[in-house]
């Protein structure tokens, strides 16, 4: 599976795009930067969007994607999220106030988007990817709003994206029992001096990331995303010494990874 990092940050600035990954050119995981990183032609190839949670750094460009590609494909774009996430996305993003309700445009029989409710730990498949069918399993994590990470499996390789989370358990258990795991993408948001902010918003610092990674008993690369833009330099220097004894590196925006 090819994973192109459209945005790897937990906030927005001219050099930091918000969280969004493109898989095989067709599936997007989180929607923080789709329309900021992809050309219109590339946006037209996107047929599926997985949404981990409603925070804007994961959803902000979803309305603009739908508007940009509206009417160019016979089938609607599929948006997948857990029940409580789905309700909030519809209520807050496609409510005819902040943006039109594209589930009724051009009409409800042939909508531009279609929502799919996903159930925790029940795998489902998305077909039509160049690298083969993608099996997706949502796993709840511990964030300030309902949030799921994802296990993404294609052609005998799995990666895990934890999405935003504070200290959590289940997704590490899943990681430890995923036989074909190739990499984990997890978060680090605030420097250690802002531990109280991280704790109250259910995010990680380098110190709490190190505690989380002690739960991961797998020798796979750990790729870190979600630095908050004001603290990028501080986080890079703290991370360099926070976790030892395993392969850990920053997830690089605009790079394409093959798993
Ligand atoms: Zn976030
Ligand atoms: Zn969040």
How far is the centre of ligand 2, averaged over its atoms, from the C-alpha of 250 (Å)?
Answer: 18
Q: What is the pLDDT of residue 108?
A: 76
Average pLDDT for the chain: 95
Where does residue 56 fall: left (phi above 0), alpha (psi -120 to 50 degrees), or beta otherwise? alpha
pLDDT digits (tens, 9 = 90+) for 100-150: 888 888 777 778 899 999 999 999 999 999 999 999 999 999 999 999 999
- 188 C-alpha to center of ligand 1: Å? 10
pLDDT, tens digit (0-9, with 9 covering 90-100), for 35-54: 999 999 999 999 999 999 99
Domain boundaries, the chain: 2-252
pLDDT at 105: 81
- Give pLDDT, residue 2: 98
pLDDT at 244: 87
Rounded average pLDDT over 193-222: 98
Residue 16 CA to ligand 2 centre (angstroms): 16
Give 2-252's CATH code, choosing from 3.30.470.10, 3.60.15.10, 3.40.50.10090, 3.40.50.2000.
3.60.15.10
Residues 38, 18: contact at Cβ < 8 Å?
no
Which ligand lies nearest the alpha carbon of 143? 2
If you measure from the C-alpha of residue 89 to the centroid of ligand 1, how many angstroms do you get, rounded to a whole number? Answer: 15
pTM: 0.96
243 Cα to the center of ligand 2, angstroms: 23
Ligand 1 mean position to 243 CA, how many Å? 22
């Amino acid at each position: 599976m090819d994973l192109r990092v459209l945005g790897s940050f937990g906030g927005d600035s001219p050099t930091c795009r918000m969280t969004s990954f493109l898989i095989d050119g067709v599936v997007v995981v989180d929607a923080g930067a789709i329309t900021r990183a992809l050309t219109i032609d590339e946006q037209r190839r996107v047929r599926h969007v997985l949404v981990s949670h409603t925070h804007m750094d994961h959803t902000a460009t979803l309305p603009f994607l739908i508007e940009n590609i509206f009417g160019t494909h016979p089938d609607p774009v599929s948006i997948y999220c857990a029940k409580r996430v789905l309700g909030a996305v519809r209520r807050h993003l496609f409510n005819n106030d902040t943006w039109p309700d594209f589930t009724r445009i051009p009409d409800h029989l042939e909508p531009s988007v279609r929502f799919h409710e996903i159930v925790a730990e029940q795998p489902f498949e998305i077909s039509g990817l160049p690298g083969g069918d993608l099996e997706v399993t949502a796993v709840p994590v511990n964030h300030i709003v309902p949030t799921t990470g994802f296990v993404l499996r294609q052609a005998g390789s799995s990666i895990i994206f934890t999405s935003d989370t504070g200290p959590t358990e289940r997704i590490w258990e899943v990681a430890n029992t995923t036989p074909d795991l190739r990499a984990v993408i997890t978060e680090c948001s605030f420097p250690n001096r802002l531990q109280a902010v991280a704790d109250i918003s259910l995010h990680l610092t380098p110190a709490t990331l190190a505690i989380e990674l002690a739960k991961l008993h797998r020798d796979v690369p750990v790729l870190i995303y979600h630095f908050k833009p004001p603290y990028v330099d501080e986080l890079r220097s703290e991370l360099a010494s926070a976790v030892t004894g395993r392969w850990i590196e920053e997830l690089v925006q605009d790079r394409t990874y093959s798993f």
